[in-house]
Structure 1
Amino acid sequence: MRIGFAGLGNMGGRMSACIVRADREVLGYDLRPDNIVAAGAKAAGSVGEVTDGSDILLLSLPDSRAVEAVVLGDDGVLAHARPGQIVVDLSTAAPDSTTRIHRLLAERGAAYLDAGISGGAAAAEKGTLTLMVGGEPDVLDRARPVLELFSANIFHCGPSGAGHTVKLLNNFLNAVALSATAEVMVAGKKAGLDLETVLAVLNASSGVNFATLNRFPKIIHGDYLRGGLTNTLMLKDVNLYVELVARLGVVSPNSAGPLASFGLARALGYADEISNTVVDAIGDLSGGVRLHTKEEPAA
């Protein structure tokens, strides 16, 4: 299968590089030509060109608005889609938009998979992402050999939209854990506690979570693991989750925390910084607290 890739930023570029390292050629399109070069892809001049030149087209874009622009716009994916072609959306998008695009591509004989990803920049770099996929099982079977080039776990979650729905559920829990742990770590710092000890206790106790295990052991030493989801994108994902559960009729009292935390980070100038810097936003309003002791900028 000829592989195309549209959207070669922080995550898409890393996934493309994994494919290239497996000795597969990637035809890539991005608004920034330097991203195509960094991803090791061969450059396409337009969305139409990358669609025409691929049997499986991967998308990694910021949100549903960007996905719809690429797929439904003039000279977009839909205008060039053909029978038997597979389009895989690796973005975090609204499930209702996803199912609409699925239907429109199906009318042209093309297949559409929504494949939410988890693991962050580090997993994308190593090719060990987790994928949550919605769409027809037989289409996933056809796409799997390509998807396995940058993922370690692939879950079929159900029909179209199910992958992006599970992704929103996962990202909401990630946002809760990250923002709550950031607050706790700032409190620990202000209490004069040794943060290595605090993390060791949390990770051996009921407060353990992904952030305590994988993020804050680095953050307390000034390494913010840059390259992953920004505060702006995290806030976008939480808002998508809130919209989803509202449509489902599920109350969401727990969304207030991450909405406030990542909204605060945006307002204080951390909008385009990795979401781990939410701890600095909380620290700013707590007396200028930084978890790390080195004399170095936090952002």
Structure 2
Amino acid sequence: MTDADTTTPSIGFIGLGNMGGRMARCITAAGVPVLGFDTRAESISGAGADAAASAVDVVAASDVVLLSLPDSRVVEAIVYAEGFLDAVHDGQVIVDLSTSSPDSTRAIAAKVAEHGGVYLDAGISGGAAAAEKGALTLMVGGDGDALEQVRPVLDHFSSTVFHCGESGAGHTVKLLNNFLNAVTLSATAEVMVAAKKAGLDLATVLDVINASSGVSFASLNRFPKIIHGDYLKGGLTNTLMLKDVTLYTQLVTRLGVASLNSAGPVASFGLARALGYADEISNTVVDAIGDISGGVRLHDPSHDGSDGAIPDGAQEKETNA
């Protein structure tokens, strides 16, 4: 960026799906223009962005480029496509908001640096609800000065930003956090199915858990809604949750750390995929466990007059870019 542009950088956004679209809307809602690219034209307009013809065009025209894509495979397909790296220019900062392999991230960062740019990895936490409110938590790896340079952009959709270290550190911390998320979600789902089969009052069970040592984000924020039939909209699908756990196991294998607790979430979210919940929100893992436990559902629609259909939050097909 030139000196004249330091306070108002031009912003590009590649990947305007479930999370990217919400983050981009936070920027455009503040009156800041965004040049966007997504394979789905409706996602660009829904984010309030101006449409670019390609990802390369976004890079060529932007001081700050944000990426929100499903995984390293897609990120690499975009970054290593013809013209992308050649469009990178001096002083440009590219922020990868995807959940990606730290090794892949570091390799891309080195390539971007060769062309004069800086590549930051910024894992996100908070899900669709936080993205909608501009209250995400970001865990960032890479150059600290570049992070400060783009912080005003990130502030549009985040409330907390941690600089975690060198390139790859942000995505590493994200994988560690997501693994704990997967463990507590799948374990709490199993416990709640057991509580249902035991004939217990589920609200009371959650009150006890949340006042005791079993408390977690899942018990505090997810299951009080799920037991009333609200599976919550947005967030990771079962497919993406399984992908994140797999990336975690690859990470700890490379680090030489024994992963004694990965079998549970791998089995749980793998089960959800196998039973047809692949593209539904990962909270539906409780229904997958319920399916093989005698057809258990935590919510009894007869108690609230609903028609017995699976809640809208469970039916929603999410886009992951």
Aligned ranges for residues 7-26 of structure 1 at < 5 Å?
7-26=15-34
What is the TM-score with the length of structure 2 in the denominator?
0.92
Q: Percent identity?
A: 71
Unaligned runs of 5+ in 2: 1-8, 302-307, 315-321
Does structure 2 conserve the Cα–Cα contact (< 8 Å) formed by 1:47 and 1:75?
Answer: no
Unaligned runs of 5+ in 1: none
- SS of the residue corresponding to residue 253 of structure 1 reads coil
Shift of residue 79, structure 1, vs aligned partner: 2.5
Does structure 2 conserve the Cα–Cα contact (< 8 Å) formed by 1:72 and 1:79?
Answer: no
Distance in 1 between residues matched to 2:227 and 2:242, nearest whole Å: 23
Aligned ranges for residues 113-262 of structure 1 at < 5 Å?
113-262=120-269
- SS of the residue corresponding to residue 262 of structure 2 reads helix
Does structure 2 conserve the Cα–Cα contact (< 8 Å) formed by 1:231 and 1:271?
Answer: yes
Distance in 2 between residues matched to 1:13 and 1:123, nearest whole Å: 13
Q: Which residue pairs with 1:75 in the alignment?
A: 83
Aligned mate of 1:297, from 310, 313, 320: 310
- SS of the residue corresponding to residue 201 of structure 1 reads helix
Q: Which residue pairs with 2:304 in the alignment?
A: none
Name the amino acid aligned to 1:32: R
Name the amino acid aligned to 1:254: N
Does structure 2 conserve the Cα–Cα contact (< 8 Å) formed by 1:89 and 1:112?
Answer: yes
Distance in 1 between residues matched to 2:32 and 2:226, nearest whole Å: 36
- SS of the residue corresponding to residue 254 of structure 1 reads coil
Distance in 2 between residues matched to 1:3 and 1:293, nearest whole Å: 47
What is the TM-score with the length of structure 1 in the denominator?
0.99
Distance in 2 between residues matched to 1:296 and 1:213, nearest whole Å: 25
Name the amino acid aligned to 1:62: P
Name the amino acid aligned to 1:297: I
Find out whether 1:36 has 2:44 as its counterpart: yes
- CA deviation map 1:61-86 (0-9, x unaligned): 0000000011111233x121011100
Distance in 2 between residues matched to 1:270 and 1:296, nearest whole Å: 15
Shift of residue 22, structure 1, vs aligned partner: 1.0
Aligned length: 298
Distance in 2 between residues matched to 1:291 and 1:37, nearest whole Å: 38
- CA deviation map 1:162-194 (0-9, x unaligned): 000000000000000000000000000111111
- SS of the residue corresponding to residue 27 of structure 1 reads strand
Distance in 1 between residues matched to 2:153 and 2:121, nearest whole Å: 15
Distance in 2 between residues matched to 1:90 and 1:123, nearest whole Å: 14
Distance in 1 between residues matched to 2:245 and 2:74, nearest whole Å: 18
Distance in 2 between residues matched to 1:144 and 1:264, nearest whole Å: 40
- CA deviation map 1:124-161 (0-9, x unaligned): 00000000000011000001000011000000000000
Give the ranges of 4+ consecutive aligned residues of structure 1 lying more than 4 Å apart after TM superposition.
none
